[in-house]
Structure formats: C-alpha cells, structure tokens
Structure 1
Amino acid sequence: MPDPLPTHAGPFALGTFSADAGAFPGLVTGARVRDLSDLAPSVRAIVEDWDAFFPRLVELAQDADGGWHDLAGLRILAPIEPGQILQSGANYRKHVVDLVAAEKESVHGATPEEARADAEQMMDERIRNGVPYVFLGSPRAMCGPYDDIELPALGEQHDWELELALVIGRSGKHIPVEEALDHVAAYTICNDLTTRDRLYRPDLKAIGTDWFTAKNADTFLPTGPFLVPAAFVGDPNDLRITLRHNSVVRQDESTKDMIFDIPRLIAYVSTTTTLHPGDLLLTGSPAGNGAHWGVFLKPGDVVESEITGLGHQRNTVRSHV
C-alpha cells in the first residue's frame, strides 16, 4: 500500500517538485500542485519577495486554471534551497536536563534525584539569563522528505534529531524579540542527523566539537515536504514533534518545551548575522534521540517524522555506496 499523501495546515503550501520536464516550484492545495514556473524560477525567489507574492498565492489557490498536477504523480524534493542554515543546539529543556543529569550521575557520583534537581536548576537559570547556542550547517546536506538517508563510510553512531524549522521572509539585523515573528514566511520539517562518534576530535580536544563532520554528510538533512506559510500554522510554540524509528515512537514532544522560543532565537542570531529571505533556522530537537535509547541508525531502518500541520517525512536508511 503506498504511503498517504502529506497534508498541510491552511489552504495551500509551497514546495519543489520534479516531473518528466524537470524540477519546478509548486503551490500545493490538498492532492494537487500548480506549477509556479510562470511566476518565479524557484521557491527561493518567491520567498525573497514574500510580501508581494503571498496575496497572489492566495488567489491562485482558488483558481482552477493553470498547470495543475496530481501530487501523487510527482517527486517531492527539498522545498527550498536556503541562503544560510542556522542550527540551534541544546534548546529543549527535558532533553538538556536528561543529558546534564546523566553526566552528573556517571561522572560526579550524584544520586538520580540530586542530579535531576541540579540539572533543572541549571536550565531555569539558563532560561532567565542565558543565550541560545547556534551553529551553521551546509545546504549540501539537504535531501528530500522521502529520499533515502545514506550513511557515511566513517562512524557508527548515526542519530536522528527531528526539528521545527522556519524560513525567513524579511531581511533584518538586530531584530527586536517583539518583531521577530514578522520576519517568518513559513515553517517546515528538518531531521538534523548527527554521527555522534565523529562529533569530538580526539586529536584536537582543545578545539571541541566537529560540527562539519558530524552533521553535514550528504542526505543528513531531510527537509520538507512543504513550506507552510506562517499565517496557517497557528502558534509555532505549541506544535507536536513526533519521530518513529522502525515504527517505534522515539521523539514525541511539544515545541512548548523549547528553552529559547522562536522570537528569542531570531533576535539572538540577528545580532551576529543579517537575516535574509530564504535563510533557514532550525529550532532544536527534543528528547528521545538515538543516544538516549542506545539505538542508532542502520541500513534498512525506516524513519518517519511529522510536526503538526507541516506534513510528514519517510526516509529509508542505506549504507554508503
């Protein structure tokens, strides 16, 4: 039985699709897709002029004319080629508390109760006075929401990290928290895979983590299926994130558990870099990754991911060629 078609909140979403004639930007309404090539060459071009395009997209979603396709007959690609990819680490309270408590027990000899209480106190202080932890990812790691995940030749502990991602729709630098959501065009799903045993360089311990090697292998960022306009998503700080690994639920959490919410993340990153339309910001992954369960990805595994209103992903894992 074929997989069900991905659904989305609101009357339409955007995506990138391929058919016999090649890739094209498309307007998704339920089970059909309108080719937008007559309006723009890519979804990125649409997002770069988001305020002008959005009213036109609303009209087109209600228009029966134009180049409509059946969604079931198209290949769904990653929905956008981003400018920069900004990734938030350690941004879910329960996830970080679990990590800190485990370290306090194993390294410092604390009891489970002491370790958890200390970890929760640390997180409360971080929420009050801390700042987000953000790093850059490579667009070359992206793949489509139904593409195979190819494990790299090196490393054994290949892990999942399902995340809510947002797409910037207005440029800004030093964006105030209270204005931050005005800069968001849309939301999508990203699974930010990590090879845990390549995250730290034993030959360069003083330098610390090697994010490039651990996170940027080809196919290590399944993205999509769609960009769902922010106007249709509702409260992005109240969405459900669910990941199944071989049909077993591994991650199941609300975005309410974020340590730094989306406005604070946008305000923080914009103090360093000017945000431009098409930039992708990942907001962190909740508790339940493979390191927590002691289970990592192997060839033949199937990973299924969904976030409220944004559709779903389904990726089969294979070994490197």
Structure 2
Amino acid sequence: MLDVRKLQVLRAVVTSGTVTAAAAHLGYTPSAVSQQVAALERQAGTPLLERVGRGVGPTAAGLLLSEHAALISSAVARAETALADLRAGRTGTLAVRYFATAGSTLVAPALARLRADHPGVRVDLELADPDDPFRDLLRGRADLSVVVQPRGRADGRLDLHHLLDDAYAAVLPPGHRLAHREVVDLHELADEQWVGSEPPGPCLEPVLDSCAAAGFSPDFVVRSEDYATAQGFVAAGLGVALIPWLGLRTPHPGIRVRPVRHPEPVRVISAATRSGRPVHPPLRALLSALRAATPGTGPADCATYANG
C-alpha cells in the first residue's frame, strides 16, 4: 500500500523541480526527502523521478502519483473544512422527536430560529412514539425528544432539560354554573360529568393526581385523545374537562376557560437527550431555541379567557 505522506513528499519534489527546494518547503533535509522518494519507489515498484538538467522531473509513474497526491491533498482540505463546520455547528443533522401539542406552539418556532441561525443544519423531524417517547433516543435514532416528563422517571441514560410547566385549566360550557368565576376550585367539579382529553400516561397523571388530592375521582362519560375534539364535546354540553394551556392555543368559540386551583394540575414539559453524550453546537443551539420559543401558559395567553 502506498504511503500518503510519501506521496506528498513526491508531489513537493515534482512541483518544486529539485529535491533541495522540496526539502526547504517541507522543512526536511534533502537527505530525508531522497529517502522518502526512494522508499516510495520501492513500494511502487518503478522509478518515479529522473534527471532533467540540474533538477529532477517525474517519470510517467511519478506524474501519475503526483496528480493523485494533489487530489488527496484537496480531499483532506475539504474534510478539514467540513469537520470545522460541523464542530462549529454550521452543518450537521439533528433527529428530533416531539408530541403533537408541542409541535406548532413550541417546536415550530424553535426550528425557525435554528434555521435562521444555522441554515446548514438539517433537521429530521418526526412525532414521537406515544407509548414510548424515549425509544428513538435510547436506540440512537434521535438526538432530542420533546416530552411530557413522566412521574418518577429516573433513567440514568437520559438528561431532561426543563422547558416549561404547562398548567391545566377548566373547560366549561358557556352556560355552566361556574362559567362566571375568575378561578375554579377543583373540588367544585367533583360531581360533574367529565370529557376526557388525555390518553393514559404522563399527561393524564397530573389530572388524576390533582383530582385525588381534591377528594374525588373524575367521572369520564366521554373520552377523547384530541384537545380540539374534547373542546367540541364540552361546547355541546356533554361535560367539563381539564385541558392544558398549550392545548387551548386554538380555542373553540363555544367554551369558557377558567384557571384551576386547590390544586392546579401541571404537566412538566422537557427536552430529553442521551446522558453522557457531548452536547454538540447544533444540539446546544436547538435547546436554546426551544427555551426561547417557550410560550406563555396561562389565562393572559388564551383568547378564550376573555369570553364571558
């Protein structure tokens, strides 16, 4: 196999025209350059240089290898530039997973900011598996996943970067007895029929836990795993619901939304990354963009709160 370093020495001799000039260019002694070329000739099995006047010139084999040495140098230079761009966060690929309600309110503005600041970074964006939002992370198929942090999750393989606490609000039909209230105490909904808006899992847990703390278990007469549909059921008078503020960014015109207290259910939204993995510049930039894109979550940020 030909030695790349010796090929570069040959190229220096060919472009310089003399061993002495090549040695000066490379910072070698003329003897060292001659030894490198002689060793390369043994590897090639044919002469690479010949006398031309007071200097040397390449044989056909020497010219061929010199041209390939130039291509190798160019490829190495391109590789070094690409590596520098990758290290600096100017290029690269990020695989991102997210859950539905975080898409338009959190992930979309964060990616817009990332694209503006790092236009060379490509993003592979997919919805996370609702049954296991950490699966792609742990299998190395994703760099980051926006998740609702499960209760009691303690996995040393993951780092959770807090983004926001998304509180749940009471969603009521317009004529409901509590619709005129500014704030609803959770226990006041104990005897109501309920519209479920969450699937089993970390989003439903804060609802059930808070209701238990208020002394009751909600009576779900209708179940929906879609916030828009749940709002429609409430507007039709089929029951009341607790929906997080992120799920109310596009409110149904036929509902009233009121903050809840004693206690206030809250789901914790985080960005998960693999523990122990260096946070390279594009990933660091995305985390920063997600934090900057975090919307307000409360009555002042929901148009429905002004209704009634």
TM-score, normalised with respect to structure 2 = 0.23
Structure showing greater relative contact order (alpha-carbon pairs closer than 8 Å, 6 or more residues apart): 1
- If you compute each CA radius of gyration, which structure gives the higher value, 1 or 2? 2
Structure 1 or 2: larger strand share? Answer: 1
